């Protein structure tokens, strides 16, 4: 199996190219985005040295499914999905924050809480919580969007004080975030899962707040299995989960948390295959669809061909 770790197309009308942590983004005519979901994987804001076969396909197909399932809540950027790893759509002016929403004390929130802090992004957390407990109500814990390096926690008050987002828009971002999370939770519950936490990115398109990027994927979300959740919490056992957290934990166990001077541990072929299978498991579990493995041979050629065909159809 081959992994798609990088693309360098020269597309007709291309005005810019941006290589993100896991996506290659092409701008066409300064109004259309072509987003290629690569098989790169990042953790602790570091891109790991080896790609994960089918990861890009998993992310792109989950995102496109849930973007379609939430169009009634908020308009989104997608116009076409011409290839399993490609989405194309409107170029928005992004807000400089990511809207993270948490319904449970897990991951970064749990690590912060266990360090003794009782506030996260200006939101107070009650005493007496255990890791993975359900919070009294979902909390929004935004982060700044770093083009390089680490995203930083930030409070609603700081966002408004620094003028990062105008208040009239920020109120909308919070409202959309809560509604999207509620819809995501509803869909997850039907599939026997709990949507623990997730993040959304928004931008402006013709003056209208528009949902961008991916939603409810394993790169942007954490899922627990619903069955047995309460019993595991009661017994103080680890929750069975579908997310990228297992990759983070493996890195931590092997002495890597993205800090200066630390080296990424060696990723064996067996470990890469396991990560790939875990991503596919999440796809099937969260969507209810059977995952179809598209051929990985000559994947870059296939992707470029499908993009070129779609560009003719969209005629930007």
- What's the confidence (pLDDT) of residue 238? 92
Total-model pTM: 0.87
When comparing pLDDT for 204 and 316, which is higher? 204
Between the CA atoms of 85, 89, 94 and 95, what dihedral angle is there, to the nearest 10 degrees? -90
CA–CA gap between residue 115 and residue 275 (Å, rounded): 29
- What's the confidence (pLDDT) of residue 149? 55
167-190 helix and 55-69 helix, angle to the nearest 10 degrees: 110
- What's the confidence (pLDDT) of residue 150? 62
Query: Could you give the domains of the chain?
Result: 14-92+268-314 (3.30.200.20), 94-245 (3.30.470.20)
Instruction: Tell me the Ramachandran region of residue 92: left when phi exceeds 0, alpha when psi lies from -120 to 50, beta otherwise.
Output: beta
- What's the confidence (pLDDT) of residue 218? 80
CA–CA gap between residue 93 and residue 204 (Å, rounded): 5
CA–CA gap between residue 178 and residue 172 (Å, rounded): 10
Burial 43-62 (b: 16+ CB within 10 A, else e): bbebbbebbbbbbbbbbbbb
Give the three-class secondary structure for 3. Answer: coil
Q: How confident is the model at residue 226 (pLDDT cuts 50, 70, 90)?
A: very high
Q: How far is CA 204 from CA 21, 93, 298, in A?
A: 22, 5, 36
DSSP string, 197-237: EEEEEEEEETTEEEEES--SSTTTEEEEESTTHHHHHHHTP
Neighbours of 169 (CB within 10 A): 13
Q: How confident is the model at residue 56 (pLDDT cuts 50, 70, 90)?
A: very high
CA–CA gap between residue 218 and residue 244 (Å, rounded): 6
The single-letter DSSP state of residue 10 is -
Tokens 């170029």 sit on residue: 91
Q: How confident is the model at residue 274 (pLDDT cuts 50, 70, 90)?
A: very high
Give the three-class secondary structure for 152. Answer: coil
Write the pLDDT tens digit of every residue in 133-180. Answer: 999 999 999 999 865 556 789 999 999 999 999 999 999 999 999 999
């Amino acid at each position: 199996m081959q992994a798609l770790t990088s693309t360098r197309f020269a597309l007709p009308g291309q005005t810019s190219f941006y290589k993100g942590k896991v996506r290659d983004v092409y701008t066409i005519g300064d109004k259309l985005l072509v987003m290629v979901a690569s098989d790169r994987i990042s953790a602790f804001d570091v891109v790991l040295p080896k790609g994960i076969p089918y990861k890009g396909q998993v992310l792109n197909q989950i995102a496109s499914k849930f973007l379609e399932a939430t169009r009634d809540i908020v308009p989104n950027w997608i116009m076409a999905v011409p290839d399993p790893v490609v989405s194309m759509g409107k170029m928005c002016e992004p807000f400089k924050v990511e809207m993270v929403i948490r319904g449970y004390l897990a991951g970064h929130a749990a690590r912060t809480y266990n360090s003794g802090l009782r506030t996260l992004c200006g939101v107070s957390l009650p005493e007496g919580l255990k890791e993975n407990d359900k919070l009294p109500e979902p909390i929004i814990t935004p982060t700044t969007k770093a083009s390089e390096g680490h995203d930083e926690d930030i409070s609603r008050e700081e966002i408004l004080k620094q003028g990062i987002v105008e208040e009239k828009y920020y109120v909308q971002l919070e409202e959309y975030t809560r509604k999207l999370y509620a819809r995501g939770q509803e869909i997850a519950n039907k599939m026997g899962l709990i949507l623990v936490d997730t993040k959304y990115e928004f931008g402006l398109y013709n003056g209208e707040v528009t949902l961008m990027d991916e939603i409810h994927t394993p790169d942007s979300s954490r899922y627990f299995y619903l069955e047995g959740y309460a019993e595991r919490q009661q017994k103080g056992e680890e929750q069975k989960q579908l997310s990228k957290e297992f990759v983070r934990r493996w890195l931590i166990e092997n002495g890597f948390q993205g800090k200066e001077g630390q080296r990424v541990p060696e990723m064996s072929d067996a470990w890469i295959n396991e990560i790939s299978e875990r991503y596919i498991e999440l796809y099937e579990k969260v969507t209810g669809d059977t995952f179809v493995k598209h051929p990985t041979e000559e994947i870059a050629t296939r992707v470029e061909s499908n993009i070129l065909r779609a560009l003719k159809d969209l005629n930007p």
